[in-house]
Amino acid sequence: MQKITLTLAILAVSYAANLSAADKPNVIVIMADDLGYGDISCYGATELSTPNIDALAERGLRFTQGYCSASTCTPTRFSFLTGKYAFRQPGAGIAPPNATALIQPGTDTIASLLKGAGYKTAVVGKWHLGIGGGDAPDWNGELNPGPLEIGFDYCYLLPTTNDRVPSVYVENHRVVNLDPADPLWVGRKKPTPDHPTGTDPDVRAKLKMDWSHGHNNTVHNGIGRIGYYTGGHKARWRDEDLADKWVEKSVEWIEKNKDDPFFLFFASHDLHVPRMPHERFQGMTKLGFRGDSIIQLDWCVGELTKTLDRLKLTDNTLIVFCSDNGPVLDDGYQDGAITKLGDHKPAGIYRGGKYSIYEGGTRTPFITTWPGKIKPGTSDKIVCTVDLPASMASMVGQSLPEDACPDSFDVLPALLGKSDAKGRDHLLQQPNKGPTLALRVGDWKVLSYEKTAPHKKLTYEKGEGKYELYHLVDDPSEKNNLARANPEKLQAMLARLEEIKAD
Ligand code: NG6
Ligand code: CA
């Protein structure tokens, strides 16, 4: 590991030697939520159109083998920020409403590395990595530690997810608009017998969007949530307004920081459930609110790129567009995602989706643009969100501290579409938390089910056996398990997986 770190550091320094100050571009990472490989038109969707995301692909590089590191949110976001696979970190599964900060102050992150290189840094949107310390977040007091303790100068957050309580914004260390006379309480049990929940038949009959599984605790904005909360009424948001808020806060922050190099992590909640886009987007597709949320996401991308144009920052900004995991249709609400699906293929040709260890879980849209620096086209290099910390550090000439970002590879040449770029030669894939893991090496992929997968119920398919082996070029949809037919390859792949786990 040390050798790799040292090599990365040397690479970073040598690359940095060729850089001038003008080569410290602004960096915006736009991470969509639950967006699948086939969900946008530049990746083959025909039932809806995403002109603003397509425009990124037209003037940039569209990756056909771009991955997120897990098929659920918290582990992917953890790995994206820290450059470390989430299976190495205890507690890095899907975070519950009252989770405290998963990434401890002082941890090197993509934000701290860029900050160290003189960048202004911000995260706007979904966090879902826990916030605050102690036994539970102090929702009425200081929410510390949080993003500000791991390299971000500013944050405006949905602290958990849009289906988890509390339905409030957090700005830096505080809940926004919280009235001390109406304190916020978040817990795991109904606080009073008359507390409105989605399981009460009278309440359920009046819901704006009914639940299908889970999501029947506290009702807010006519929608049942995961977890219970009371109070904080003035602080509560409407689902319909979230996307507008992310754009408003991002634009404000970009305007304020336009004279310095900046890094913005734009963490959209679209298209995570409950899919309740703004009224102006409702009904824009024939796919129901899942499709309409994709249009809302596309609108956000358009607002960000328009802002860069207006401020004349486009040519000096590297945008990375990606997703946190693959697609899911029914994720707990009856929103028409299944009934209105028609010919739309959320994961494209890939098997599985969110929660799954198959390609559909992690092979997701991945686009880089930097006009004048990245030649437009497509790339089949393997890149992953976990590589962004090392790659961005390399770009700005920051060497990685020892032991920082251990699983993050410098794939900058691949991200920039350099002709001699290699990308990754191997990649570990994870559903939520261990022990099910997959390893891709070159064109081969092994799936190892050591115990029951954590989300068996929700996974699109079950494993055919304890191990599966696929040749991804001959069989991209992972239909033909070669484990029994090719025991030597299987053993070699499993041995490599064990090596990486022990690293
Ligand atoms: C699951 C939720 C699902 C979603 C997911 C996290 C139920 C039944 N399912 O536990 O709706 O919230 O967690 O999604 O409650 S993620 O994209 O943030 O990982
Ligand atoms: Ca997600």
Q: Which residues in 350-372 are b (16+ Cβ under 10 Å) and which e?
A: bbbbbbbbbbbbbbbbbbbbbee
For ligand 2, the distance from its centroid to the CA atom of residue 33, given in whole angstroms, is 4
Q: Measure the CA–CA gap between 159 and 138, rounded to whole angstroms.
A: 12
Give the ipTM.
Answer: 0.99
The predicted model scores a pTM of 0.94
CB neighbours of residue 288 within 10 Å: 20
* Distance of CA 331 from the midpoint of ligand 1 (Å): 7
CA–CA gap between residue 279 and residue 240 (Å, rounded): 7
Calculate ∠ Cα 15-17-20, nearest 5°: 105
Cα dihedral 120, 115, 365, 53, rounded to 10, equals 20
Could you identify the residue written with the tokens 């009425």?
A: 140
Provide the phi-psi class of 34: left if phi over 0, else alpha when psi is between -120 and 50, else beta: left
**Residue among 80, 164, 331 whose CB has most ligand 1 atoms within 8 A, to mutate:** 331
Write the burial class of residue 402 (CB in 10 Å: 0-12 exposed, 13-18 middle, 19+ buried).
Answer: exposed
Distance (angstroms) between ligand 1 centre and the Cα of 31 equals: 17
Please give the number of the atom of ligand 1 that sits closest to the Cα of 273.
11
Q: Is 440 in the pocket of ligand 1 (CB under 6 A)?
A: no
Would you give per-residue pLDDT tens digits along the chain (503 residues)?
A: 444 444 444 444 444 444 544 479 999 999 999 999 999 999 999 999 999 999 999 999 999 999 999 999 999 999 999 999 999 999 999 999 999 999 999 999 999 999 999 999 999 999 999 999 999 999 999 999 999 999 999 999 999 999 999 999 999 999 999 999 999 999 999 999 999 999 999 999 999 999 999 999 999 999 999 999 999 999 999 999 999 999 999 999 999 999 999 999 999 999 999 999 999 999 999 999 999 999 999 999 999 999 999 999 999 999 999 999 999 999 999 999 999 999 999 999 999 999 999 999 999 999 999 999 999 999 999 999 999 999 999 999 999 999 999 999 999 999 999 999 999 999 999 998 767 899 999 999 999 876 543 434 333 345 545 789 999 999 999 999 998 899 899 999 999 998 999 88
Six token digits for residue 286: 């024939």
pLDDT of residue 354: 97
Instruction: Take atom 16 of ligand 1 and give the residue whose Cα is closest.
Output: 73
pLDDT of residue 122: 99
Task: List the residue whose alpha carbon is closest to atom 15 of ligand 1.
Answer: 214
* pLDDT at position 434: 65
Decide whether any atom of ligand 1 lies within 6 Å of the 275 Cβ. Answer: no
pLDDT value of residue 451: 53
Rg (CA), the chain: 22
Ligand 1 neighbour 214 (Cβ under 6 A): yes
Which atom of ligand 1 is nearest to 213's Cα? 8
